[in-house]
Chains A and B, each alone.
Chain A
C-alpha cells in the first residue's frame, strides 16, 4: 500500500452545549459529534464521506482542518503528526490543506473584491512573493476556474452561486495545497451548475495532483467523484469501501438503507425504499452497543451491548457484528 498523504486515527470531537440549565454553573451537556473515525487518504485520490444531517461528517473535516476542537485521536499529514496546539506547525498544515465550503456566497467576504479574496492566502502562505506576483498568481488561478479578467475587481454579490463557488475553489487552491477538503460544495447549487463545479474539481484534481475529501449528502455526486466512500451515522463510522463496491453491494445495514432511499432518475425502475423505523436518536444520550441499533432492521440481542469494531469485509471495512459472517 502507498504511504497515505493524510492519515486520520480514532478522531473524536465533543461539544459542550448549554441546554436549559438549572444554575449557571450546572454541568453542560456533551454532544459526541464525531465518535472515533479513522481513514487513510492516498495521494491523488478522493474520499467521499456521506451520511445524513447530524452524522458529524462536516464536523469531522472541520476538526481535521483545525476549525473544530478535536478531543481525541491523531492526524498525520505525510507521515508527520499534526499538533493542533502549535501555531507554527498548524500553519504548515494549512499550507498543505485547504477547504471549500457549502454556501458559496457566505464563504466570500462581501467587502473584498474577488482579486483581493483570491490573493489573500498568498500573503500568509507565500510572504516571499511581491504583491504584483501575488496578484498575478491570483489572476492565473481565477482564469483557470473560468472567471474572465474583466471581472477581477468585482464584489462577490455580483456573481452567481456557481461562480462564487469557483472563486472559493480558486482561493483554496491558489497557494497550491495538496489536500482539499470539500464541505458539501455543490449542495447549494442548481443541477446544471453543480455539474460545472464537479467537472472543474475533477480537472483541477488531476492537473494539480490533489487529494480530495468530499463531504456530501447526495450519494450520486459522491459516487461520481470518489474513489472510496466512508459512511457515517451518529458520529461513528459505519462502513468504508471502494466507491463502486459500496454503491453496488453495501454491506452495513445502514448503508443499505441509505442507498435504497436514493431516488433513481429512471421512471421505469420501481424502487422500493427500505423505510427505517424511528428517528435519529439524540446525540446527547450516550448509548451502549451499536450506534445504529435503535433503527437497524437486522439487529439482534448482542447489538445492544457490544459496540462493533470495524471488521474487514471484501475490500472494505464495516462496523457491524454481522460483518464477519
Chain B
C-alpha cells in the first residue's frame, strides 16, 4: 500500500453484501475495499450481477431489507454502516448525491421541479423558500438547463430524457455534496445525449471539486472520463488501476477479455473474442477465483485458491503473473 498524501474522502473496507432469498443466500459483494480521494473520478466497471450497484446502494444506506452488509464504509471518518438513521440521513442528503439510471424514477411526477429542488435545501439546511428558489436556479444553470427561470414551474414529464437526467443531477448538486455516485447515469439515454451528460459531470468535477464514482458496464465511457478504474466480477475486485493502464496493460484475464469483446469502432476487422460461458452463480460462497470457469488462462490452482488483490498503484487479483497471460 502506498501511503496517500491526502486522507481518503470515502474508504470502503472489506465490504461484503449478502441477500437472504427464498432459495438461500446470494453473495452479491465479497470483501471489496477501495478509497476515493477528494476530487477523484473513479470508475467501477462490471457486468450485471457483478455487485456494482449494490456497492453504491450500501454507501447510500439504501440496501434492500433482506440484505446484510459487513465491513466498513468510512466517510469523513464515520462508518456509514453503523451510523444511526438520523445521522445517516443527514450525510446522505448533504454530503453524497446519487444519480440513478432511470431519471423518471428519481423524480416525483406530481411536484414541480422548483419544489423538488427547493425541498432538499429547505429540509436539510433550513433555507427559506426564496433562498431555496435562488439556489435551485443556480443549480439549474449549472447543469445547463436552458430557460431555467421558466422551467422551474414544470413537471418532470414535460422534460425530455436528457433534460430529466440533468434535473436529477441538479437535485444531487443542491446541497453541494462532496461525492456523487452515478449509477449507470447514461444507460437509458441516447449517445448524443450521453455525450452531453458526461461532459456535464466532467465540468462539475472540475469546477466544484466533487469526487465522482461512475458505475457502468461501458468501458468506452470510462476511457474518456475517469482517471482510475476498478473492475468487478462476481462481487469481487479483479483489478484496480489507473484507467490508462487498464486499457494499455490490462493485468487481469477478465479485463483483457472484456476489452477484446467490445467491438472497436476504429478497428472493425478484428473478430470479437467472446468470453465463453455464463456469469457466475452467486448462490454459493466461493473460495476460488470467481472468473476461473470462464478464464482462458486458468490453471489448476485457480479453482482452489482465492487470489488476493495486491500490488502498488495498480492492483490485481490473479494467481498468474502478468507475463504469462495470453
Contact = CB atoms under 8 A, between A and B. Distances in A.
A and B in contact, CB less than 8 Å: yes
Given A264-B220, A264-B266, A194 B192 contact: no
B275 interface: yes
Interface in B248-275: 257-266, 268, 271-275
Contacts, number: 130
B258 A192 contact: yes
Contact of A160 (B199, B217, B223, B279): B279
Contacts of A163: 278
A106 interface: no
A219 B163 CA distance: 23
Contact of A263 (B218, B243, B272): B218
Contact-residue size bin, chain B (C-beta under 8 Å from the other chain): 35 or more
B189 to A, nearest CB: 9
Interface string A166-209: 00000000000000000000000011111110110000000000
A220 B275 contact: no
Contact of B268 (A191, A243, A264, A267): A243
A52 B265 contact: no
A271 B224 contact: yes
A263 B223 contact: yes
Interface residues of A, number: 43
A65 interface: no
B217 A263 contact: no
Contacts of A53: 161, 190
Of B48, B260, B266, B271, which is in contact with the most chain A CB atoms at under 10 Å from its CB? B266
Contacts of A261: 191-192, 194-195
Contacts of A223: 263, 265, 268
Interface string A42-80: 000000000011000000000000000000000000000
Given A163-B278, A267-B243, A273-B199, A190 B217 contact: yes
Nearest to B257: A192
A104 to B, nearest CB: 13
Contacts of B150: none
Contact of B220 (A160, A162, A265): A265
Contacts of A217: 190-191
B191 A191 contact: no
A262 B47 contact: no
A216 B190 CA distance: 11
A268 interface: yes
Contacts of B191: 52, 217, 219, 258, 261-263
Contacts of B274: 192-193, 195-196, 198-199
Contacts of A257: 192
Contacts of A218: 263
Of B243, B259, B262, which is in contact with the most chain A CB atoms at under 10 Å from its CB? B262
B221 interface: yes
Given A192-B257, A261-B194, A266 B247 contact: yes
Interface stretch (A83-91, A95-103, A110-118, A274-282): A274-282
Contact of A192 (B195, B223, B261, B271): B261
A217 B162 CA distance: 16
B223 A267 contact: yes
B272 A198 contact: yes
A266 B247 CA distance: 7
A162 B224 contact: no
A268 B273 CA distance: 23
B279 A265 contact: no
Given A190-B279, A196-B276, A265-B259, 6 more contacts: A190-B217, A192-B257, A192-B274, A247-B268, A268-B244, A280-B160
11 contacts: A190-B47, A190-B279, A195-B260, A199-B271, A199-B272, A218-B263, A219-B265, A263-B218, A263-B223, A267-B223, A273-B195
